[in-house]
Structure 1
Amino acid sequence: MIKLPDDDGKLTAYQPNPAPRARVAGDGPPHSRVLIAAAHVVVDPSAANEPFGQPVLDWDATLAFRRHLWSEGLCVAEALDTAQRGMGLDWGTAAELIRRTGAEAKAVGGRLVAGVWTDHIDPATRSLDDIAAAYEQQLEVVDAAGAQAIVLSSRQLAAAATSVDDYASVYGRLLRQASKPMILHWVGAEWDPELAGYWGSGDPDTAMDNFLAIVTEHHDKVDGVKVAPLPFEREVELRRRLPKGVRCYTGDDFSYPQLMAGDGGTNSDALLGVLDPLAAIAADAVRKLDDGDAVGFRALLDPTVELSGHLFEGPGMNIRFYKTGFVFLAWLAGHQDHFRMIWGEQAARSVPHLAKAYRLADGLGLFPDPELAERRMRAVLATVGLD
């Protein structure tokens, strides 16, 4: 029995699970849906990692977690926001991360996708040629690592573009030279106000039409698209309008079970941060689909939504601290031996928040060693005088 604090500071007794969840048998990676997990990073606990300083990663722990994701049959998405890209992970460290993860992927036969962006150039850059060249510079690193590129929305391009033709020019230049089909990642102004008017219009319907026109023109070079945030109905509409063979990767951290299950005509694959802590359950759920068991798929995945919603809770910009919960759960699960993050973000969530994450994850049977998870949870409580 362990006493956990709630949001009001009240301690409530909780009986941890005595054993982990039983796994679903299966040979090889699940194949009914593509599962791409945006993976977190951790810093070297012995290094002088200061808030807002240059990060020194714990390469052994960071790469070991990627091997865990591959062992579950998932694809790793590298150097995205889950790895604190743009929130402490600078391009120089991101490039080294992509190179090292690429070498690990080749060694174990894992699939790797990685973000290309324009975060290494002056934010005031307004030259379309310079913006395209910045994308190309990062693309060279991704290609050399043997990874597939995820093209992230550029703030400089949003500020410089005067029409959809400017987007068509920059994206067309990238797509024509792609060595592998790319994933196009569009983040809406709701999450990043600096991306307002992306694809040449502030009207969401017109912007979607413009986006789809570019995807359709280069469909042979587009593996898939991810648009976030996107209401449920809009994602269904998007995937129905995509050219044949182009995947829709859901970014919905709350409706992913239903979107992945599909509607009998179309379905979404997944490129999600929450697959970082949920890799084992998500893989088992898709194995149910592999066997034609749609009910079993939902029975495994639906209960995970409460944990996902908790990890991504606000208010406001606090949602960006979802990564703290991911790293915390990876530590509790024994996938790494410490809980240290870039810029000290391990302190970005309250003890009651972490306690609830532990309880929900334990309730799902997520921890391979429940006793280890309980000991580590007790250690966290002891540091604040609650043990």
Structure 2
Amino acid sequence: MHVSTHRIRIAGAAVVAAAITFTASGCGSSSAGGSAGTITLKVTTQVDYGYRKSLYKEYEKTHPGIKIKEVLIDDLPKKLVTQLAAGRGASDVVGLGDDTITKFMPSHDKFLNLADYGVDNVKDPWVDWAYKAGTVENGKFVMGLRTDIGGMGICYRTDLFKKAGLPTDPAKVAALWPTWQKFTSVGEQFSSKVRNASFTANTGDVWVAMGNQIKETFFAASDDSFIADKNTALKADFMEAAAMSVKKVSGGFPPFTPEMANALKNGKTATAICPAWKLDRTKEASGPENSGKWSVAAAPLGGNWGGSYLTVPKQTAHPKEAAALARWLTASAQQKKLFLDAGYLSSHPSVYNDPTVQAKKDPYFSDAPTGKIFAQAADAMKPIYRGTKDSDVQSAFMNALLRVEQGKQQPEAAWAQAVSDAKKAIG
């Protein structure tokens, strides 16, 4: 759902250290400052998880005596490290990105084991790989509860595709690019016909999508050792992404920047990587005037980009109540509402296989069958190993691709520097 630092997911001005409060005003007896007789639970995330629109209010209504305060913090992982070390300051519920949570797993003893509060993967099961990725000690310690999953797609401009002589039907478009090599080839074909727009927005997003399709990237699943310098599959993906710049397939509009937003809005790029949670952000950037000019197709090789976990630090003064809130927010019933309302793809198979969910179409995206496309992507997802220092090295490779896009470095040299920089980052 939500962008985190791990995948350049922090989206502009949305990420500020601002609090959105649903508590009653005035003094009270609760430790978090709620009204007398109430318990205020503080939920901290990096970006909006979609809960504030209705779910928090619904929970408060059905759970008298509970008030919820939401806070967004852009450097949440860094602040949480400090809070856990100090033994104070952490919120009752903390959202961590699907890669960021791995950074805290060595310190899982500072979080509640949610299995002690009735959480399992039986009564309302998550997709197995997503549930397991939030656990440690061979699944015995449930550290985080999965929110959504990414579900990879490609947003594309139907008007620009028509101009290039390409099909516009989602199924036919997806058939054009079963692999990323084919994606690049389609880009070259597009670029030969359309001169005033790039085929895809940037290589950074493509690199992220690729990295979510292989079992191991920077670190080995066996012992968490750094293997990027020996990972031939990872290097092949890097070189393919870099080739998109060399072949002028990429527009070089940096992810989550005003430049990329303007490119989406003004028809300067024909495609953008779109996991399910990114559809709304694409709409916002492109604007209402472009409704019906976009569509969505399956991405090459499928895969997942995004998703988060709700954790409960042991510091909470209200462990039972905090655990109950985290479980309710991540339950299938609430996840179904989030998909139908905001497009966040559920991590519960019972939801993404639901006929109502699969039947959903998005009028902004030319009535593309988004429910079906992302449900099929969910079924094709496989677990990947990120490593406890994934977020420490990711920027080295993103920066390397940017240097290639800017014409400052050739792909092979950029790869070598990325490996060197990554090794320095982890000491």
TM bucket, shorter chain: under 0.3
Q: TM-score, normalised by structure 2?
A: 0.25
Q: TM-score, normalised by structure 1?
A: 0.26
